[in-house]
Amino acid sequence: MHRPYFWATASGSFGVTLRYDQSSDSYEWHLVSPTGCTGIDPSVLVEFSEFRGRILYAGGRRLRFQREGMRYADEDSLDSRSFHITARRGGDLVGYTRIRPLPRILPMLPGAAGYEA
C-alpha cells in the first residue's frame, strides 16, 4: 500500500490519488473535484460520460446512449457540479462513481463562491 498523494492548485481545486498494489494488480483511485467551482478543465468530464454511456448502452438495449461512430455518452449537467471518484488500472478507467455535495455543505468547499448546487 502506497501513501496517498494529495494535491491542490491556486484555483482552489484539490484531489487525492490512492494506489493499491496486490501482486501484479495495481489500481489508482482519483478524486476529481467539481469542475463548475474549481476551474478544472471540463473536458475531463467527457471520459466519464463515455464510460457511463458504454455501460448504459447495455449491448444495444438502450440505444439512446450510442453516438455516431460507435461512441457512447451519458451527458448530464450534474457532472460539472459533482465530485467524481475514478479507479484506474494501467491508466485505463475501470471504475467510476459520481457524488453530489449537499447544498448546505457546498459553501464550505474551496473555490465554491457563487456556485449553485
pLDDT in tens, the chain (117 residues): 445 444 444 444 445 556 655 545 677 888 888 876 666 677 788 999 999 999 999 989 999 999 999 899 998 888 888 888 888 888 889 999 998 876 666 666 655 555 554
Q: Let me know if residue 116 belongs to a domain.
A: no
Q: Is 9 part of a structural domain of the chain?
A: yes
Q: So what's the pLDDT on residue 41?
A: 73
Q: Is 76 inside a domain boundary?
A: yes
Specify the pTM: 0.66
Is residue 59 included in any domain, yes or no? yes
Asked, for residue 117, whether it belongs to a domain, the answer is no
Residue 101 counted as domain residue: yes
Tally the domains of the chain.
1
Supply the range of the domain harboring residue 102.
5-108
- Asked whether the beta carbons of 48 and 79 are under 8 A apart, the reply is yes
Residue 115 is assigned to a structural domain of this protein: no
Is 15 within the bounds of a domain? yes
